[in-house]
Structure 1
Amino acid sequence: MFYGSVQDISDRLLLEGDRKRHAANLAFLAEISQDLAHLTNIAETVNAIAAKIGAYFNASLCAFSSVGEGAETITTAYAWHRADVPSPIGNQRRRDYYTEDFWQACHTGKTYVVCDVATDPRVNAPNIAALKIGAFVNVPQVRENKWEFSLFMADTEPRVWREDEIELMQELAARIWTRLERAHTEAALHISEEKYRTLFNSMDEAYAVVEVISNPEGGWSDFRFLEVNAAFVKHTSMEHPVGRTATQILNTPNPQWAEIYGQVVETGEAVRLEITEPILNRIFDLNIFRLGDPNNCRVAVLFTDITKRKRAEADRIQAQAAMQAFFSNVSHEFRTPLTLLLSSIQDTLSDSAHPPSSAQRSHLELAHRNAMRLLKLVNTLLDVSRIQAGHIQAVYEPTDLATLTTELASSFDSASVQAGLQLVIDCPPLPELVYVDRSMWEKIVLNLLSNAFKFTFSGEIRVSLRWRDEGDQGDQEKIPATSSLPSPSSLPSPSSPHITLEVSDTGIGIAAAELPHLFERFYQVKRAPGRSFEGSGIGLSLVQELVKLHGGTIQVSSLEGEGSCFQVSIPTGSAHLPPDQISSLRPGRLSQATSGQGEGSLPNPPLSSAATGANAYLEEAWGWLSEPSWETQELNSDMQAHSSQPRPGSSHLQAPGFKTARILLVDDNADMRAYLKRLLEERWQVDTAANGAIALTQIQHHPPDLVLTDIMMPEMDGLQLLQALRADPQTRSIPVILLSARAGEAATIAGLETGADDYLVKPISARELMARVETHLQLTLLRQARSASQFKTNFLLTVTHELQAPLALILGWVRLLQTRSFDADTTAQALATIERNATIEAKLIRDLLDVSSLLSGKVQLKSQFVELAPLLRSVTAQFQAAAAAKQIQLIETLSHVPQRNVIADGDRLKQILTNLLDNAIKFTPPGGQVTVGLSLHPARLEPEGDRGEQGEVGLTALSSSSSPAPSSPPSSIEIRVTDTGIGIRPDFLPYVFDRFTQAEVPSRHSPGGVGIGLAIVRLLVELHQGTIEAASAGEGEGATFTVRLPLVNADLNPNLTPPVP
């Protein structure tokens, strides 16, 4: 029999269940903590933890979210979800899912529990339900009243969340957020460290952290390297220095290092210094600063190895000193022979007992001018070198500056008049004497004035001097402006009393980009079209240095095309000057000092230029003005080209066309032109030009046989001239010899690569120059001979073909008529063919004979008064049938012209018109038009370059002999033949009148011939003292041939009779 009792154990079972869940929760927490401890890949590990948590709670979703600024956006980066639930990864707007109550609860760190989304008013049920969420718990993490992180747990169905579940979620959220924060911080730190390490090791400067070590006596004796970068090892050649002391690495380190580091540790003040390390044979620039607390005894050191820079600076200083010494020594050595040379020349020129001949005087004056120029350059170089070396000794003396400046500027009076410039000197008396070094002031004024003269071609040069009191910015009415340049009042002026010298001009001006460099030593404005390209580029630099020695300033303002204004300002008084360089003249001797005369005058100041004074500048200025105008040159060139004959006994080279070889000499230095011209004209004709632009114009009018040109010239230099000649088919073959003062292989190669035939370096040997010129002229003749030989061969082939073609037809029909019988029509056709081809053959033979006779000068004109209008009508009538056969409209436009209007050979005029009309019809396709015109033309026979103003557009080719008639007729008559034919190519137009030359035309337009018709026309026209030219806009645009003949009106000149044949 059993006895028992029944008890209610539900509470006990609940407690038992709570204990088991609690134990399970603790175990789960431990497991998650273990996972978090091994957090390496954040995303992968946290996503795995989310999956574990979701499975443990039997949920559908577990997510970890961060909250954006203002808690408006919730970003989910890590999550786990069941396959049937949408992924929460991404950004969600809080207002789309939760009410303000939710935001307030999360902001205070309150866990938000929703058991049934559908019935809970605190959420947006439709939006959350769309995410397949039926219940959720959100556990926020707050720092400093700011919601930053959440653990979000959800289920698809409504669910009552147990209290232990909520507590576990809260613990998990705290642990996970703390670990994630640390992980993110560590990752950011790692990235920062990597960047720092990269920067640390990529620095060019050496960097080290050292610990300074003290000795028992309390001094700083050594230091240990704690950290170094790669550059440190490279710069110091120390291997593996970290953890080792300087003594261990260097055995006997420089104690200065430890002392400097210790000083920084003690004071905490950063130190920068340069230090030489004899053991390493290096020079370092150090930046040293303390790290942390003084007790750490640590400093950071930034090393920059400046060994190369310091050695380069030392080398530069040494080289500069050597250069200055060289300039000084060479200048002194130059001055001695130059002084003797100038003295000898002056003695010879002034020798009244044995005066030099006119030619000798010319040569001596040339030598004197250039010796003075060389002395000026030597003195300038010596001045610059002495100023640069600090060896200049100025003597500042009280001076009547207005009088001195006026005298200096007045020395340019005559040169200005010769140049067509107005020189305005506006230097009123000053209230006080001004302390200046007179030779320096002379250099300042003359350099500025010479510079203005060089770059001013019209208008005026103004020299003004003014006294300005303290704060006085000038008065525009006192110093009139020469142009629209900034007035002196617009330029800044010193506040203390000062003197203002202003040199302004109406010259070419200076580009704004050039102004900042204008006072740099050896700087020259590029392509400045001055009177000469010559110059050393140190004049303005020297002026600036001299002005600075007076405690003054120099400024410049300029507008391109309007002029420039240089303004020099120097203080008054003597307080700003070195006391030991101020002259102690007594007042009674001031007038003598300012004029430089009398017993009391000072010896010449130390500047070397004082000896030359204004003479060197004036010699140079007159040299710029000695070039005759281009029009005069052209006239002289024409006279030489058409009237001069070889001198008896001279060895002239004979160029094709029976003319003496002609050389064009191009140089901007008048003396060099005169010397080379005198040298070359003993054997050849010589024309001259002052720059490349003038030369190019001359060459286009009268191509020479050889061009001898300097390289450095204004407006267009020698290389630009060479490029222009090589780009033009008409001048491409002219030999060009370059002259330059630039020696060296590179300069020679540059010239030859541009297309020069030869390159000569100044100074030039006369014998070498003559030999080179003759060699290139002979080479030109050889090339022309070879070309002529080839031309002759081609001509014979062409003539043979042109003679054989009609002859074959004639012989063919003759043989057929001899051997066979034909009806009357066929016989008539055969005879017509024979006659037509015989006529062609006869015309070709006649043309060849005409060319031969014309070239040999055997043609005699039967001159008589000719009325052109009837003659032109008769020739035109002869071509009406040929024009009609090709359906070409032949039109006459005959203006009223005087009767008996030309003196000419009527038959030869018919030949001219016949050839032109035959040519026009031949090259005009069916349906075209040929117009023959006759009209009066303006008096002067001159080539027309661009005829656009006359209504015709196109290029123009003149006959190769485009010189005017010996005497200019009062007027001329013009014959024009214009067609709408195939036109003339621009590249062939210059050669259209050459003998035996034919343009390449399509076979359907090819009329045959040997290319002598237009050559005959040209020769006959020139024989009548006329000109002919061809114009065409190009292929397919037709052509116009214009003949101009001197007009003689017999009705107005009844006594005029034709010449006797």
Structure 2
Amino acid sequence: MRGYLERLLRQRWRVTAVENGRAALEAARRERPDLVVSDVMMPELDGFGLIAALHGDDALHDVPVLLLSARAGEEARIEGLNAGADDYLVKPFSARELLTRIESQLIRYRIRQVERAHAERMAEVFMQAPAAIAILRGTTLVYELVNERYADLIGRRDVQGTPFRQALAEVPDQALFDELEHVLASGEPAVGQARRVWLQRQPGAEPEECFFDYVHQPIRNTAGQVDRVAIVAFDVTALVRARSDAEVANRAKDEFLAMLGHELRNPLSPILVALELMRLKGIGSLDREHAVIERQARHLVRLVDDLLDVARIAQGKFELRRERVELAALVTQAVETVSPLLEERRHRLRLDVPPAGMVVDADAMRFVQVLSNLLTNAAKYTSDGGDIALEARRAGNEAVIRVTDNGIGISREMLPQLFDKFVQERQALDRSRGGLGLGLAIVKSIVMLHGGTVTASSAGAGRGSVFEVRMPLADAVIDLPAPLPVPGMAAIAAPAAEQLAAGRSRIMLVDDNPNVLDGLRAVLELRGHEVYAVSDPATALRLADSLAPDLAILDIGLPGMDGYELAAELRSRPHLRDTRLIALTAYGQQADHRRAVAAGFTAHLAKPVSPRELQALVEQEARVS
């Protein structure tokens, strides 16, 4: 029988024939066969013992075994299959049946090998994937598989076969567990970004804050039912912390700019006040020198204002007070503001703006700032005696404003970043054009807040530039208002005696800066007012009780008790109920103005104070009272 079978099988396959079970096991270990055909009844090691030995060997446990036996019947067949045989053939059998059974087992074995190789490749991909991946099974979300990256994330702890809640007991985010259970129940994936999770990354260590981008993906079985959930996560902790550090640094920078602007305002105030005093006292022999000092001081004021505007924009504190106004009126004010620079550099300015019919809904002061910044920019980068044009036209529902010059132009490399903060076209070493590179950044921010756009173009170096602003037009036409006067420090003639006597007031002035205090007191006294100057809140309260001033000008940044608290104290005293209060501060934001009004001040002045503006306000308050 053995000889017959050997000859039959050798016709189709390579065959190793042995006479007993022990020899069969040794041959199998040596040759790693694709199939073992064994009789049940063999010396030394029967068929059942051979199957057990093969299954106990890691290299041979999946080799299929076909048992041949003379024992017929269902029970014998079941016994053979239960022992681990892949097939059971009862003697006598036909050669055809034997060959068919062997061919079938070989095909199955090859299929299993392909499946095993595919599974091993997938396992390698799973384990080496750059994302952290875990598979949770069943209603209790038991860990079925985790890859290397996931194991690293959870501190290399052994979670296999452990429910998710139990394995990560230190996680306080109950919503995370609920979300996984919802994915399992609903079959809908969940996606999250930069989710904060507290994990114990080292044995015995305290849980640490981690951040993950993740997908919780439901997995369906062959019946279409969701019985698993895959967690795919990316550790973005370093990115989140870097972004947080950058935001902190950015806030610190904005706060520094705001504080820098505040601190720079204080020394500018006494400089401008001293210049005004010189004029009021009739010291005219140094007019040229005074003009130089004033021009440079005003330039510093503009730089400080730019710094403060940038800080407000970055902090989201930039507010607009919009109204309907003719564009021509705004252009007039912008031109008046820039006229000294245009005259100094002998530029020729051409205006082409309709006198009426182009109404915009804008913050007049801020939009004048946009136009004056664009004109100033054109003047700075155009050689003396150059040409500048400002044109405006209607294009559908928009106003299109173009500022054109024949100056140095803009390089192709600079155009994309022209409106960024602190960016300027390259200057010579003397930096004759000056500036901080903030003007155009402020222009863009203000225009965007108005719902408009601003763009720049240039044909290249030495060929001039064009800045175009597009603004929505309002749906109404209004009468053209008279241009508003532009604040300035033009020379003022010494006041006549009859003017000094008019509107004389008793004024209490409180400021801890002695230079500001002495300068403003001198200016107000030259205007004929009775001024009492003190530098601390306690003295101010005692003086107010005995003096009952008509007007109190209070610095907000006072030591010990700030100006708001001092105002509240003054307002609480019945005999000072009619005293009018003016706030004086280096903080000039609209929020500061509203706070001053809420504290009982009737007016608010931002440093550096224009003596003319202060005098006008004092006279106005005197008329009201």
Distance 2:145 2:371 in 1: 65
Q: CA deviation at 1:528?
A: 7.5
Deviations 1:493-544 (A, max 9, x none): xxxx011110112222222222111111112234589973532111111100
Taking structure 1 as reference, are residues 187 and 256 closer, same or farther at Cα in structure 2, changes over 3 Å only? closer
Looking at structure 1, the residues matched to 28 and 115 of structure 2 have their Cα atoms a distance apart, in angstroms, of 11
Task: Tell me the secondary structure at the aligned position of residue 32 of structure 1.
Answer: coil
* Correspondence 1:210 to 2:127: no
Deviation at 1:551, TM superposition (A): 0.7
Distance in 2, matches of 1:29 and 1:612, equals: 113
Return the alpha-carbon distance in structure 1 between the equivalents of residues 166 and 2 of structure 2.
67
CA 1:573–1:377 in 2, change beyond 3 Å: closer, same or farther? Answer: same
2: distance between equivalents of 1:405 and 1:257? 59
> For residues 314 and 614 of structure 1, what CA distance do their matches in structure 2 show?
49
Q: Distance in 2 between matches of 1:531 and 1:182?
A: 79
Q: 5+ residue gaps in structure 2?
A: 18-24, 35-95, 200-206, 492-625
- CA offset digits 1:374-419 (Å, max 9, x no partner): 1111101111111222222211122221133144236556754664
Matched, 1:518 2:422: no
Residues 341-380 of structure 1 mapped to structure 2, 5 A cutoff: 341-348=271-278, 350-351=279-280, 353-357=282-286, 361-362=288-289, 364-380=290-306
C-alpha distance 253-566 of structure 1, shift in aligned 2 (>3 A): closer
Write the letter of the residue equivalent to 2:161: G
**Alignment check: 8 A CA contact 2:333 2:484 kept:** no
Task: Report SS of the residue matched to 2:368.
Answer: helix
How far did residue 432 of structure 1 move? Answer: 4.3
1:436 aligns with 2:362: yes
Deviations 1:878-934 (A, max 9, x none): xxxxxxxxxxxxxxxxxxxxxxxxxxxxxxxxxxxxxxxxxxxxxxxxxxxxxxxxx
Kept after mapping to 1: 8 A contact 2:185/2:226 = no
Pairing partner for 2:118 from 170, 177, 189: 189
Supply the AA of the counterpart residue of 1:306: V
Q: Is the 8 A contact 1:522 1:538 kept in 2?
A: yes
SS at match of 1:304: strand
* 2:7 counterpart residue number: 25
What amino acid is the match of 1:286? Y
d(CA) in 1 for partners of 2:423, 2:286: 43
Contact in 1 for aligned 2:329/2:480 (Cα 8 Å) = no
Match of 2:512?
A: none
Distance (whole Å) between structure 2 residues aligned to residue 367 and residue 297 of structure 1: 81
Residue 145 of structure 2 is matched in structure 1 by: 227
Residues 329-355 of structure 1 show CA distances to partners (whole Å, capped at 9, x for unaligned) of: 33233223312211212332x245443
SS of alignment partner, residue 287 of structure 1:
strand
Q: What is the aligned partner in structure 2 of residue 461 from structure 1?
A: 388
Q: Are the structure 2 counterparts of residues 21 and 353 from structure 1 closer, same or farther at C-alpha, using a change threshold of 3 Å?
A: closer
| Structure 2 CA distance for aligned equivalents of residues 511 and 385 of structure 1 | 28
- Partners of 1:324 and 1:392 lie apart in 2 by 13
Question: Is 2:436 aligned against 1:536?
Answer: yes
- TM-score normalised per structure 2: 0.56
Contact residue 505 and residue 564 of structure 1 kept, 8 A:
yes
- Which residue of 444, 447, 450 corresponds with 1:547? 447
Aligned-partner residue type, residue 185 of structure 1: V
Determine if contact 2:131/2:234 at 8 Å carries over to the other structure.
yes
Shift of the 376–172 alpha-carbon distance from structure 1 to 2, 3 Å rule, reads: same
Q: Look up the equivalent residue of 1:228 and give its one-letter code.
A: V
1:270 matches 2:189: yes
In structure 1, the residue matched to 2:520 is none
- Provide Cα deviations, 1:743-764, integer angstroms capped at 9, x if missing partner: xxxxxxxxxxxxxxxxxxxxxx
Question: Partners in 1 of 2:16 and 2:176 — Cα distance?
Answer: 52
Asked whether the equivalents of residues 381 and 433 of structure 2 are also in contact (C-alpha less than 8 Å), the reply is: no
Q: Deviations over 1:442-481 (max 9, x none)?
A: 2111111111122222652111011222xxxxxxxxxxxx
Task: Judge conservation of contact 1:509–1:564 (CA < 8 Å) in 2.
Answer: yes
Q: For residue 233 of structure 2, what is the aligned residue in structure 1?
A: 303
Amino acid of the structure 1 residue aligned with 2:466: C
Q: 2:299, 2:370 → 1: CA distance?
A: 17
- 2:178 maps to which residue? 259
| Residue identity opposite 1:28 in structure 2 | R
Contact 2:6 2:15 (C-alpha < 8 Å) held by counterparts: no
Query: Cα 1:357–1:527, aligned 2, differ >3 Å: closer, same or farther?
Result: closer
Q: Does 1:572 align with 2:473?
A: yes
Residues 378, 404 of structure 2: 8 Å contact kept: yes
Query: Is the 2:409–2:458 contact (alpha carbons within 8 Å) kept by the matching residues of 1?
Result: yes
- Change in Cα spacing, 1:411 to 1:387, as seen in structure 2 (3 Å) is closer
User: Residues 668-693 of structure 1, C-alpha deviation per residue, up to 9 Å, x if partnerless?
Assistant: xxxxxxxxxxxxxxxxxxxxxxxxxx
Q: CA deviation at 1:26?
A: 2.6
Written as runs of structure 1 = structure 2, the 5 A alignment for 1:141-156 is: none
Match among 455, 459, 464 for residue 563 of structure 1: 464
Q: 1: CA distance between counterparts of 2:165 and 2:238?
A: 27
Shift of 1:184: 7.3
Count the aligned residue pairs: 408
Aligned residue identity for 1:507: G
1:427 maps to amino acid: V
Contact 1:411 1:614 in 2 (8 A): no
1:327 and 2:257 are equivalent in the alignment? yes
2:519 aligned partner: none
Distance in 2 (alpha carbons) for counterparts of 1:505 and 1:260: 61
Cα distance change of structure 1 residues 420 and 355 upon mapping to structure 2, 3 Å threshold: closer
Once the two structures are TM-superposed, the CA of residue 569 in structure 1 deviates from its matched residue by 0.5
Report the RMSD for the aligned CA atoms in angstroms: 4.2
1:269 is paired with a residue whose SS is: coil
The CA deviation string for residues 98-130 of structure 1, in whole angstroms up to 9 with x for no partner, is xxxxxxxxxxxxxxxxxxxxxxxxxxxxxxxxx
Change in CA separation of 1:446 and 1:171 when aligned onto 2, cut-off 3 Å:
same
Q: Deviations over 1:175-234 (max 9, x none)?
A: 8994896487357526xx34x445434444321111243xxxxxxxx4321111222222
Distance across 1 between alignment mates of 2:116 and 2:161: 28
Contact preservation (8 Å) 1:455, 1:529: no
Matched, 1:424 2:406: no
User: Is the Cα contact below 8 Å between 1:424 and 1:461 reproduced in 2?
Assistant: yes
| Alpha-carbon contact 1:409-1:425 (below 8 Å) kept | no
Contact (CA 8 Å) 1:376, 1:612: kept in 2 or not?
Answer: no
- CA distance in 1 between partners of 2:406 and 2:394 (Å): 24
For residues 552 and 41 of structure 1, the distance between their equivalents in structure 2, rounded to whole angstroms, comes to 83
Tell me, in whole angstroms, the C-alpha distance in 2 between the residues paired with 1:39 and 1:373: 96
Deviations along 1:682-708, whole A, 9 cap, x unmatched?
xxxxxxxxxxxxxxxxxxxxxxxxxxx
Higher relative contact order (CA 8 A, sep 6+): 2
Which residue is 1:1049 aligned to?
none
Deviations along 1:1023-1051, one digit per CA (max 9) or x if unpaired, are xxxxxxxxxxxxxxxxxxxxxxxxxxxxx
SS at match of 1:297: strand
The aligned counterpart of 1:285 is 213
**Partner of residue 337 from structure 1, selected from 258, 263, 267:** 267
Tell me the percent identity: 26
What is the one-letter code of the residue matched to 1:333? E
Supply the distance in 1 between the matched residues of 2:442 and 2:435 (Cα, whole angstroms).
Answer: 13
